[in-house]
Amino acid sequence: MAVKDSGSSLAISEIVAEFGDAAGGSDSLSEYYAGGQNVPSGATGESGSIPTSGTISMSQFYGSTNRIAIALQISSTTQNYNIYSNRGGTYSAGISDVTLTVQAIVGSSSTGGYGIDTGNQWASGDTVKIINNSQIVGAGGEGGNGGAADAAHAGQAGASAGAALNLGFDTTIQNNGGNIRGGGGGGGGGGGGRGIYQIDKNQSQTIASAGGGGGGGAGQTGGPGGAVGMNTSQTTNLAAGQAGSISGGGSGGAGATPQSQRGEGGNGGAGGGAGQAGSAGQAHTQGANGGQSGAGGAGGAAGKAINLNGNSVTYEDGSGNVQGAVS
């Protein structure tokens, strides 16, 4: 509880009640310089900062509190921001109230990281709050490669996406129209294989058609698109997957498409949008007279919006636009 506001006389006992008396005995204002034995560094009152030395008066303690307010801000595009690592020198364990205001896009450089990580080294009694006026975004998963065409080769699965926000401590979020968006999973690669086409009763032709690459998932760092399958004798329409971006998942690439009835490579699946899984790739289709066909690769898992790790999240003024799981 803070010292009362100005308007009535203030007694030294009220200052002692708020900040304690480490030395004990007779109380004097000289024991209550900021950064000393009783008052934490950075302490403020109604009129400004509590002095660290020199002249000190009772009036400077109106509205003061035995807690440290730490204001952090992200004002330009940033990646992999750790709140605890940026807490600053005024932090005092157990009595600090840390508020991070997000004014610009914050993303992660990889699916193994996070746009924002609170850190888990906070002390009991600290508080952490995020005011989000922009976007906190996870990284997109990579699209799977297309299946090779020398036999029945399945397309590669798309990669899982990354989380936007990782909690190592109970956190309050004020989402002022901002977005918290998990990354999109990578699309699965298309299946590759060989189709058989009977030219006449004595001749048949084997056509090797590779699968297209899966699209990359959405993210501030979008997932790369998957490559086309190897060992193909057909390249018509064959394409790699497109990379994802912050605005959405990339398109899957087309599988190789030879002439009619000769089998086709599977198309790659699209990368997932924010907080969504990638789409599976399509299977290779056999020719009119059979062949060998590989399945399409599975889509990659969506990234979480918020990775709780057993901690709690409290929303002020509603949760806002959260895309992806909170768990």
Q: Show me where the domains of the chain are located.
A: 12-61, 69-141+165-178+304-323
Looking at residue 26, what is its pLDDT? Answer: 67
**CA Rg value for the chain:** 30
Confidence label for 261 from pLDDT (cuts 50, 70 and 90): low
Confidence label for 159 from pLDDT (cuts 50, 70 and 90): very high
Pairing of strands 291-293, 193-200: antiparallel
Report which DSSP code applies to 13. H
Phi, psi of 29 (to 5 degrees): -60, -25
Looking at residue 260, what is its pLDDT? Answer: 67
In the predicted structure, residue 292 carries a pLDDT above the cut 90: no
Task: Give yes or no for a contact between 118 and 169, defined as CB atoms under 8 angstroms apart.
Answer: yes
Predicted TM-score (pTM) of this structure: 0.87
Looking at residue 198, what is its pLDDT? Answer: 67
DSSP 89-132: TT--TTSEEEEEEE-S-EE-SSTTS-SEE--S-PPTT-EEEEEE
Confidence label for 236 from pLDDT (cuts 50, 70 and 90): confident
**Cα–Cα distance list, 312 to 84, 107, 171, 301 (Å):** 17, 22, 6, 23
Tokens of 131: 């005011």
Could you tell me which residue, 176 or 278, shows the higher pLDDT?
A: 278
Neighbours of 278 (CB within 10 A): 43
Residue-wise pLDDT for 2-15, tens only, equals 899 998 999 999 99
Tokens of 307: 């990775």
Looking at residue 298, what is its pLDDT? Answer: 98
What gap in Å lies between CA 284 and CA 287, rounded to an integer?
Answer: 10
Confidence label for 194 from pLDDT (cuts 50, 70 and 90): confident
Looking at residue 232, what is its pLDDT? Answer: 79
Name which of 92, 88, 136 is nearest 115 in CA terms: 136
Average pLDDT, the chain: 92
Could you tell me which residue, 201 or 109, shows the higher pLDDT?
A: 109
Task: Give yes or no for a contact between 279 and 269, defined as CB atoms under 8 angstroms apart.
Answer: yes
Residue-wise pLDDT for 57-80, tens only, equals 999 999 999 999 999 999 999 999
Tokens of 33: 């310089």
